[in-house]
């Protein structure tokens, strides 16, 4: 059994998806459940978590509707404006929907490296504690100092770091990222997705051996009880196929025991996202 904790659906729009630059032109098209269902059938994937790509409430409705129609979509990570005066009402509204598993904000796109520490944002995050929802942290590695301060403020909130906080794999930088990831991992309410690696490496020349030092830091820091598998489909397609992404994770998991592999590929996801 494998649960893919990170993938996206969209009707491609050049305005909404302006982050898809010329190097990523291969994914400038629609990606819908029918596309992913065939991929999952080929690779024996049980189900997935659909993650927001647009920062709108309409995106939540879009993903939740897809999840209701396709039972392999086990949950949704949506978006609300945590700085809004209406955030409490929105969280209460979505708390009534079992398929809404959590939220994220595209913090990596914020010019302010201390965005996570804005008082208005912190106030919104504080309201999550009564909902049981996960908060996913999407940042670049240079934003990790703020992440460390952020998670310290919410010891009872379940956090998941997306894409291993996007280390600079292409450039070969690891030490400062590893130092901060180890510090963050000391907080047991934080888990990490083994995802998004091949798009942080060189799209055309990456090899599995290039990725393993980064994945092994995450394993050492978080342990097998707080890591989950994610493909980042269809974004991963700019650097490789779904099979290549899955094979990287299987190669990594070869060092784990049978019980630890089960944790990584599905049991941790079942617990974190209450599947």
DSSP 11-56: ---TTTTTTS-GGGGGG-S-B-HHHHHHHHHHHT--EEEEE-SS-S
Per the prediction, the chain carries an average pLDDT of 95
CA distance 180 to 210: 20
* Strand residue runs (E) in the chain: 3-7, 47-51, 73-78, 100-105, 134-137, 159-161, 190-194, 227-229
pLDDT at 197 over 90: yes
pTM tops 0.75, yes or no: yes
Please give the pLDDT value at position 41.
93
pLDDT at 21 over 90: no
Domains of the chain plus CATH, in order, are 3-272 (3.20.20.140)
For 132: left if phi > 0, alpha if psi spans -120 to 50, otherwise beta; the answer is: left
Instruction: For residue 169, name the pLDDT band (cuts at 50, 70, 90).
Output: very high
CA distance 50 to 205: 29
Tell how strand 190-194 and strand 47-51 pair up.
Answer: unpaired
């Amino acid at each position: 059994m494998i649960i893919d904790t990170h993938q996206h659906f969209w009707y491609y729009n050049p305005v909404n998806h302006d982050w898809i630059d010329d190097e990523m032109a291969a994914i400038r098209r629609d990606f819908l459940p029918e596309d992913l269902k065939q991929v999952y059938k080929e690779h024996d994937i049980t189900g997935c978590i659909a993650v927001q790509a647009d920062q709108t409430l309409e995106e939540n409705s879009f993903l939740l509707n897809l999840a209701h129609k396709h039972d392999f979509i086990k949950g949704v990570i949506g978006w609300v404006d945590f700085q809004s005066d209406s955030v409490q009402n929105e969280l209460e509204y979505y708390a009534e929907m079992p398929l809404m598993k959590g939220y994220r904000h595209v913090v990596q796109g914020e010019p302010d490296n201390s965005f996570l520490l804005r008082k208005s944002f912190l106030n919104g995050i504080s309201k999550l504690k009564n909902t049981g929802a996960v908060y996913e942290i999407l940042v670049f590695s240079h934003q990790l100092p703020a992440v460390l301060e952020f998670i310290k403020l919410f010891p009872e909130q379940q956090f998941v770091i997306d894409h291993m906080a996007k280390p600079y794999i292409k450039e070969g930088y690891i030490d400062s990222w590893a130092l901060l990831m180890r510090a963050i991992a000391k907080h047991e309410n934080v888990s990490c997705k083994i995802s998004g690696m091949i798009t942080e490496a060189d799209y055309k020349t990456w090899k599995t051996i290039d990725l393993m030092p980064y994945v092994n830091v995450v394993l050492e820091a978080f342990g097998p009880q707080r890591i989950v598998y994610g493909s980042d489909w269809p974004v991963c397609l700019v650097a490789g196929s779904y099979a290549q992404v899955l094979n990287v994770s299987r190669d990594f998991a070869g060092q784990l025991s049978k019980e630890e592999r089960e944790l990584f590929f599905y049991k941790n996801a079942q617990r974190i996202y209450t599947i």
